Amino acid sequence: MDAEEHKLPLSQNPEWADVTPIPQDDGPNPVVPIAYKPEFIETMDYFRAVYKANEFSPRALQLTHQAILLNPGNYTVWHFRRLILDALGIDLNEELEFMSGISENNPKNYQIWHHRRWIAEKLGTDVASKELDFTKRMLFLDAKNYHAWSYRQWVLQTLGGWENELNYCHQLLEEDVFNNSAWNQRYFVVTGSPLLGGLEAMRESEVKYTVEAILRSPENESPWRYLRGLYKNDPKSWISDPQVSSVCLKVLSAKANHVFALSTLLDLLSHGFQANQEFRDAVDSLRPSNSDPPDSDLAKAICSILRHVDPMRVNYWTWRKNKLPLSV
Amino acid sequence: MGELVVDKHVKYILSVEKRKDSFESVVLEHLRMNGAYWGLTTLDLLGKLDALDSNEVIQWIMKCQHESGGFAGNIGHDPHLLYTLSAVQVLALFDKLNVLDADKVANYISGLQNEDGSFSGDEWGEVDSRFSYLAICCLSILHRLDKMNVEKAVNYIASCKNVDGGFGCTPGGESHAGQIFCCVGALAITGSLHHVDKDLLGWWLCERQVKSGGLNGRPEKLPDVCYSWWVLSSLIMIDRVHWINKDKLVKFILNCQDTENGGISDRPEDAVDVFHTYFGVAGLSLLEYPGLKAIDPAHALPVDVVNRIFFQK
């Protein structure tokens, strides 16, 4: 189809003269009525006709392209496009190129990612690095795009390419240490990469990395949760590892942004951690001057401070306080 | 803070057709069934479901059913779990589940379950814990949970749990409030909430409330009215909703209203749409805002509708 023909409405295009378009039936008095544009109506009317006729032809493929540009969310069109691609034996590398152009304008469209997965699955491990590069480009546009992350995890698990993934996570966290998606991916790599030896083997270096990130931004929820995750199924090590309690102490002593440090220390205490006088002094120095008389119990004192500094969640911290065992 | 402008929201939903917002219209075309669910459930919560002719809606819905038993987003489209649940929910709103061949719909749904217990959204195979919820909720409404392998389905959902207590779309996927609603909802319906670490997840969920009072769906993201539904319903199902500041959230949702023309937006001052109008009103219903019907947090239908389904057999 040349450029001139492309501009011609389908109803006047001789190439389409043999097709009778099928109009959309919205039913009587639509609940969510739709104001369609004329171009959309015509394209979809012809699409319904070729779809119904199972026409696997180059012109039908071109028509799916037009329909996708008009509404990339219509999965029937995508499905039909896959049937045509299969039937015509089209080089799927070309299809990947076609996809890249559309994806950047529709980064949160489910069909686009699903279609891409279908192609990559067929092309196999050869396209692993290409697909990782593609998601990298998409994540450059939006580093928290859920679809892109989901697809990237699928590529790694199905096609491989784990070699540089930890570095990539590091790079994203250098750009934005608050990026929870990058922290999640880091956990995915540390626990799942066949090249790294698993969580326990990675724990020491990961704890060091995380502690540094926490000290840079103690108000950042993500590394605190990541730190806890590094001791999954091993609460004993979590309580006894001095790196965990000392990062709490350091943040508390800096006297700013200490909500997560306090809550982590509270968790540690609830699991049996024995705090020394240094911790008591650090917590005591954070006690608001207008608050109730000091709690002799450290965990209770922490809850009281949290109630004060995090009023949005005052009920949660009250509940934590009430849940504590009676002090001796 | 203003009040909920009920009449304007009703008018807005009934007059969506008159807006010249063609972009949204095109986008909505293939998911009209979801649009119908959002609009009609909102009307029911506002006590105005009778403003519409139910026969016409039901006629249209049944025209969207595919020979496989599943429902499409519109007439002539392909079926998908997303639209199948919406279709069944709307029929339930109108107390018309009897027009369905429940076994046929249930066969379509159970046919989408995979060996590992997960569900594909349609015959072409995209897998996501969202689809597990859609399947389980729909089969529950149809009294056909026995048609699927519940144990395997539950185990798959449990495998999507993260160390922060939340759930992702697949094992290893980042915790996201929308996915959490789906997983917790599916676990609630199947009586499997013991897989949820309620205290840990409850804290993660209440950390989603930001200074403005609104809720976000992941750390460091902007608040959005739709999370009023996803976060709140999850908190209610795990019995931890008192951990957030309800007054501030009510205020945030009411501030997202278009008080002149009706409708609710994602954030204050943004353009309204049916999707956020539903989530705003449903969120207020969960917050026990006066004058609204109560909504069931797991089945996402008004409580009286759910009671009719389960207690008036």
Mutate to test the interface with A, among B91, B207, B239 (most CBs of A within 10 A): B207
pLDDT in tens, A85-135: 999 999 999 999 889 888 888 887 888 899 999 999 999 999 999 999 999
Question: For a pLDDT cut of 90, what percent of chain B falls above it?
Answer: 85
Q: State which H helix or E strand residue B198 sits in.
A: helix B198-206
- Is A108 considered catalytic here? yes
**CB A184 within 8 Å of CB B162:** yes
Q: What's the CATH architecture for B6-311?
A: Alpha/alpha barrel (1.50)
d(CA A218, CA B146): 49
Contacts of B134 in chain A (CB under 8 A): none
3-state secondary structure of B127: strand
> In this complex, is the C-beta atom of A256 within 8 Å of any C-beta atom belonging to chain B?
no
Contacts of A150 in chain B (CB under 8 A): 169-170, 173
Q: Is the pLDDT of residue A8 over 90?
A: no
Please give the pLDDT value at position B23: 44
Contacts of B91 in chain A (CB under 8 A): none
Mutate to test the interface with A, among B23, B124, B128 (most CBs of A within 10 A): B124
Please give the pLDDT value at position B119: 97
Nearest CA in chain B to A144: B221
- How much is the average pLDDT of B303-308? 98
Please give the pLDDT value at position A110: 82
pLDDT in tens, B288-298: 999 999 999 99
Please give the pLDDT value at position B298: 98
d(CA B19, CA B85): 27
Question: How much is the ipTM here?
Answer: 0.93
Selecting among A7, A37, A108, A250, the annotated active-site residue is A108
> In this complex, is the C-beta atom of A315 within 8 Å of any C-beta atom belonging to chain B?
yes
Contacts of A315 in chain B (CB under 8 A): 242-244
- What b-and-e string marks burial along A278-299, b requiring 16 or more CB atoms within 10 Å of the CB? ebeebbeebbeeeeeeebebbb
Please give the pLDDT value at position B171: 97
Please give the pLDDT value at position B194: 98
Q: Is the pLDDT of residue A153 over 90?
A: yes
Mutate to test the interface with A, among B167, B218, B243, B244 (most CBs of A within 10 A): B243
pLDDT in tens, B67-79: 999 999 888 788 9
Question: For a pLDDT cut of 90, what percent of chain A falls above it?
Answer: 79
Question: Residue B295: what are its φ and ψ, rounded to 5°?
Answer: -115, 145
Nearest CA in chain B to A72: B27
Please give the pLDDT value at position B18: 45
pLDDT in tens, B27-59: 566 678 998 999 999 999 999 999 888 898 899
Using alpha carbons, list the distances in angstroms from residue B51 to A195, B42, B43, B56, B310: 62, 12, 8, 12, 26
d(CA A135, CA A6): 32
3-state secondary structure of B119: strand
Please give the pLDDT value at position A100: 84
- How much is the average pLDDT of B260-268? 95
- Is B35 within 8 Å of A222 when comparing Cβ atoms? no
Shortest distance between the Cα of A73 and any Cα of chain B, in A, equals 7
- Is A36 within 8 Å of B22 when comparing Cβ atoms? yes
Nearest to B53 among A29, A34, A188 (CB): A29
The mean of the pLDDT values for chain B is 93
User: Residue B115, Cα to own-chain centre: how many angstroms?
Assistant: 26
Using alpha carbons, list the distances in angstroms from residue A69 to A63, A228, A253, B145, B304: 10, 45, 57, 39, 43
d(CA A47, CA B30): 14
Please enumerate in sequence order all residues whose Cβ is within 8 A of that of A249, keeping only pairs 6 or more positions apart, or say none: A278, A279, A282
**CB A284 within 8 Å of CB A291:** no
Please give the pLDDT value at position B210: 97
- What b-and-e string marks burial along A11-35, b requiring 16 or more CB atoms within 10 Å of the CB? eebeebeebebbebebbeebbbbbe
pLDDT in tens, A250-302: 999 998 899 999 999 999 999 999 999 999 999 999 988 766 677 789 999 99
pLDDT in tens, A37-76: 788 889 999 999 999 999 999 999 999 999 998 888 887 8
What residues does each domain of chain B span?
6-311
Tokens representing B49 are 């479901």
B:229-268 residues touching chain A, CB 8 A cutoff: 242-245, 248
